[in-house]
Amino acid sequence: MLRSMYSGVSGMRGFQTKLDVIGNNIANVNTVGFKAGRVMFKDIMSQTVGGATAPNGTAQGGINPKQIGLGVTVGSIDTIHLGGSAMTTNQPLDLRIDGDGFFAVQLEGQTTPFLTRAGNFHIDADRNIVTGDGMRVVASGGDIIDSLDDTVTGLTVAQDGTLMLAKNDGTIEQGPKIGIVKVVNPEGLEKIGGNLYRMTGNANPDGALEVVDANSTEFGTGAVISGQLEMSNVELTGEFTEMIVAQRGFQANSRIITTSDEVLQEVVNLKR
């Protein structure tokens, strides 16, 4: 069989993967805290039909290797952790991280928290600060934030994550701090759905996870902005452009397969 046919098949598979990633990006264009993905390709190993030869003094010059590529494969699927645009909601528990870091959330009894950039938090019936899926928000230091006292009538969040609690007697009391996790390589985090990420050994050394203060020069964490949400960083113009590129690439590779099939048909017809 012709090598070009298998190269065309690999190209179609690669561009199909690219279209899958683009489709997911566009579907999440309005998802809070979503980070867009991109596909990077690399060539498959080449078949060497002639090796390289070094120059032989003045008698003969060098000869370059003769190699035939065998197609393409997906090199990586990257997650682009650029900041998304801010949407003002004026809800005190809608929080945006202005800079580096992730919120830490976990279920009761869970040992290792998950990470998220989606700061749309709520207060449940037990006066816990939770995500939309009921996961508890983790404070600086690693403990789950305790239920708010029933004397609390309102709250605001400072830029360092401190909960400023308004009491029913008119006083304001400092509560716990909403914690932030600094990640060395955010692209190394594993997406698990629900706007959540799982720590891996390629995100932080040995997969270490420490919940620290926000707006800290020591840890390099971003400030917590109350009343705002970080929206998706998907840029539709770029996504639709990449969609056109992927579509044309898919069509071109399908044409390679068609042409290879026509060549094989001509070979079969030689027997007639």
Secondary structure (DSSP) of 63-127: B--EEE---EEEEEEEE--PPPPEEE---TTBEEEESS-EEEEE-TT-SS-EEES--B-EE-TTS
Q: For the segment 125-141, what is each residue's pLDDT rounded down to a tens digit? A: 999 999 999 999 999 98
Torsion of CA 146, 216, 33, 179, to 10 degrees: -10
Residue 186 scores a pLDDT above 80: yes
Output the pLDDT for position 163. Answer: 95
Q: How far apart are CA 120 and CA 228, in angstroms?
A: 9
Give 166's strand partners: 154, 172
pLDDT digits (tens, 9 = 90+) for 65-81: 998 889 999 999 999 99
Q: Does 64 have pLDDT greater than 80?
A: yes
Question: Which string of b and e fits 156-190 if b means at least 16 CB within 10 Å?
Answer: ebbebbbbebeeeeeeeeebbbbbbbbbeebebbe
Dihedral pair phi/psi, residue 13, rounded to 5°: -65, -40
Smallest Cα–Cα separation from 80: which of 189, 218, 207, 222? 189
Q: Are 197 and 190 in contact (CB under 8 A)?
A: yes
What pTM was computed for the model?
A: 0.88
pLDDT number for residue 111: 86
CB 91 within 8 Å of CB 228: no
Q: Would you list the domain boundaries of the chain?
A: 3-50+64-81+234-269, 86-230
Alpha-carbon distance 52 to 65, whole Å?
Answer: 4
